[in-house]
A and B are shown apart, each in its own frame.
Chain A
């Protein structure tokens, strides 16, 4: 569901966001028109508009978890999390989350006041998924979310929805309730769709031509 169809029709911020995107042809491979958000985040005013739109939408929805997909989701999700008072959870490529390679045994170096996961700190769960171009895998720390927490998933762009689907599965496996998936850009595959894997999908703009 695009923002313009959901209360923000004619909002000049949406046009500013769209205009701030860059298109790079044939990246990462021939035939792909890459939507580059680096020009958006290097425009302070427009970057702030982007975050503000999401914050206004989610502020009063009882969200306690904002998950961001590595790496461009890491740019948008933390400001949203900070503004609505939620925790930020990074969803990462394989092997990046500490503890990802193997389960760590207890050791004398542990701090007794660790926040969570005293028996298997750093344990991760992972989900495989298909990309628009290739395959990949997403990981999350066990214990990062508690049962029943309401969660958002943020990424810069949604194409086929494969990445977001994997993210939804990760959070649900840990007992979270995914309230919505939100992206800055939505490719034509998601136009007209309100749901992704049964979860609402919220997108700010279409790809820049």
Chain B
């Protein structure tokens, strides 16, 4: 893969580390379906120096920015997020596919009160759902909010090329006013990252930037993030 100029990504092109990172990424054609050139970071992970350099580049950028939260999108964001979080003294918050986070699931019209051990559980306050349809944006939002303590899980649905997907987060993992960076291995259309940003902002977190190893600029994910800053190491055309 070639290292195309990254004028918008704030990284010095001459950096030898970028060059090594870029050449350690493997392109796999026709995965997951014909016509797609998949950017495989597993080969980067097999090169300890390239992997370390990747983390170092993110850490250098964020260590003095008072970042409290590094949110990583399942599953490849789980690989890059925690080392960054550990190095900059932030908490790591996993953003997961549906039903993976243990939590009290509930639906629009039903709420249940479960009292197991009041010493261990926060008091159940209220439970309500909000259903919002935005007719004027490309994406349709469906979200539910519950106030049931630290096992409260909120979710955000977002559009894929075909169909929709959803990501979830523990509400209790973050506090309003905290500053966050969202990490994933790659940004394509920006749908996943936008959903992640929305989840965090809904609970009052300030998303400072999104950080990815790879950008696919033709898919215009950067535009979809709008005013949110995007930092990438490698841009692939």
Residues of A bordering B, CB below 8 Å: 22-25, 27-28, 34, 36, 38-39, 41-44, 47-48, 51, 70-72, 74-76, 78-79, 81-82, 85-90, 92, 95-101, 104, 107, 109-111, 113-116, 121-122, 141, 144
Contact = CB atoms under 8 A, between A and B. Distances in A.
20 contacts: A22-B151, A36-B102, A38-B93, A39-B173, A41-B93, A44-B91, A47-B85, A47-B91, A48-B86, A71-B96, A74-B76, A76-B82, A82-B55, A89-B45, A89-B46, A90-B42, A90-B75, A99-B31, A114-B43, A116-B46
Interface in B118-163: 120, 150-151
A113 B47 CA distance: 14
Given A22-B151, A23-B120, A95-B32, 8 more contacts: A38-B94, A39-B173, A48-B86, A71-B74, A90-B42, A110-B27, A111-B1, A122-B28
Interface string B70-109: 0000111011101101100111111010011111000000
A203 to B, nearest CB: 20
B85 A109 contact: no
B78 A74 contact: yes
B48 A113 contact: no
A41 B92 contact: yes
Given A41-B92, A74-B78, A98 B100 contact: no
A122 B85 contact: no
A109 B37 CA distance: 9
A87 B120 CA distance: 40
A44 B90 contact: yes
B48 A75 contact: no
B31 A101 contact: yes
B92 A42 contact: yes
A78 B46 contact: no
Nearest to B82: A75
Interface in B1-26: 1, 23-24, 26
Interface residues of B, number: 50
Contacts of B38: 98
Given A41-B91, A115-B24, A82 B48 contact: yes
Interface of B is mostly: mixed
A28 B42 CA distance: 30
Contact of A88 (B1, B75, B79, B173): B79
Contacts of A114: 26, 43
Interface string B45-77: 111100110010000000000000000001110
A94 to B, nearest CB: 12
A38 B48 contact: no
A38 B28 contact: no
A98 B48 contact: no
A207 to B, nearest CB: 13
Contacts of B32: 95, 98, 101
Contacts of B37: 109
Nearest to B105: A27
Nearest to B99: A28
A35 B45 CA distance: 28
Contact of A96 (B75, B93, B151): B75
Contacts of A144: 42, 46
Nearest to B96: A71
B30 interface: yes
A23 B30 CA distance: 42
A70 B48 contact: no
A24 to B, nearest CB: 4
B45 A88 contact: yes
